[in-house]
Structures are given as C-alpha cells and as structure tokens.
Amino acid sequence: MNEEIFRKMTQSILDGDDEAAVDLARKSILQGISPQDALTHGFLVGLNRVGEAFSCGEVYLPELVMAGEAMKSAFSVLEPEMKKRGIEQEKIGKVILATVEGDIHEIGKTLVGTMLSASGFQVFDLGVDIPATTIVSKVIEESAQIVALSALLTTTMIRQEEVVDALEKAGLRPLVKVMIGGAPVSLNWMHQIGADGYSEDAFGAVSVARRLMEA
C-alpha cells in the first residue's frame, strides 16, 4: 500500500530534490506511515543507491551533495515526528565531527555528517577551523566513541595529527577512534599519524564508522 510513496521518496533522493523530499516526508506523516519506515524503505534506499553510484564513478560530487541535502531536508521533517511519537532512533555511537584548525572547507564535512546522522549515528558537528583543544573537550563532554576530522589542504592536514596527539595526551586515545578524510589525505597518512580509519568519500565514511564501532 505504501510502496508508491516509498518509491517516490527514493527518487527524490536520487534526483537531489529537497522540496520533493520534504513534501513526501510530510505526506507520510499525514498518512500515518512510521517515520522509521519512511527512512528505511524510502529515503535511505535512495541515499544508499547514490552512494554506491558515486563509489562506482557513475555520479559525481555535485549529485552526491544534492542527495545529501535532500536527505537532510527529509530528516528535518521526520525527526520531530519521531520525538513526538516517543520513537528515538537507536544511535550506533557518538561522533565528534570537525574541519581542523586553519581550514574552512565545509561541504565534504557536512555531507559526512548528514550521511552518518541518517545512518544512525549521533553527530556533533563542531564546524570549521576547530582547534584540537575544542575537539578534545567535546569528546570528554559527550563521551564520544569516534572523532571524524576533515582537511582539504596539504597545509592543514597536519592538524589531524595534532588532534590525535592531543587525545593521546589527554589519556583518551584508548577510548576513542579517529577517522580522517579530505582531498590530500590518504591511507598512508592515516597510518603515519596513528589514526584508525580513512575514507575518500562521504558514503564510505559510514562504512568506516560502523567498522570502528565494532572494533
């Protein structure tokens, strides 16, 4: 009975159509569809398809960003309804997300945050140009299990190492996993600075985060 609206939800994400996504989310609430079902059978199906297509080189970053924004828009409608119904989405873990100090690039980080939130993580997005001390303080405040660090410049990627060192000095390193990403970042860099995970795109970041939670 709900297959048609689920199909349209999936298509709204594939099209990166945030207006359609919001409209469908609202319609699903009026029709009595569970917000969790709307996410699981509708919107997340589209997000997963876009992510897989991106990984295969069939779609490019602009399409991925648009899909992420559409997902974010749909989620903004469904989340209050979930809270009203007393349905708390089960959180896989807490993630502190930030673009490192000296770097103001936001698009990739925001997309990672959207993907992680939609996939069941509780994400605390600190924003851009965030010093290591602020990240460490937030880890302590939230008892987070993962720190996700973005750097888009070769001159700022060194700050990722500073965060790893700061967590070590604070005695938090055994308790928190560090994942990194950004254009100049690589698997070799991850090993060099002692981080735990690396992804070259936002879709892959979800898989990395899930793996780190199971480690």
pLDDT range class, residue 144, cuts 50, 70, 90: very high
CA quadruple 195, 196, 198, 202: dihedral positive or negative?
negative
At 88 the pLDDT is 61
CA quadruple 117, 93, 61, 149: dihedral positive or negative?
positive
Give the position of tokens 């409209």.
Answer: 23
What does the alpha-carbon distance between residue 31 and residue 206 come to, in Å, rounded to a whole number? 31
The CA angle 189-210-35, to the nearest 5 degrees, is 135
pLDDT range class, residue 55, cuts 50, 70, 90: confident
What does the alpha-carbon distance between residue 31 and residue 21 come to, in Å, rounded to a whole number? 15
The strand order across the sheet containing 177-181 reads 122-125, 94-99, 146-150, 177-181, 197-198
What does the alpha-carbon distance between residue 62 and residue 46 come to, in Å, rounded to a whole number? 16
pLDDT in tens, 174-186: 999 999 999 899 9
Mean pLDDT (the chain, rounded): 91
At 82 the pLDDT is 82
Domains and CATH numbers, the chain: 3-84 (1.10.1240.10), 94-214 (3.40.50.280)
Which run of H or E residues covers position 99? strand 94-99
pLDDT range class, residue 126, cuts 50, 70, 90: very high
What angle separates helix 44-55 from helix 202-214, to the nearest 10 degrees?
Answer: 100
pTM exceeds cut of 0.85: no
Which run of H or E residues covers position 74? helix 61-84
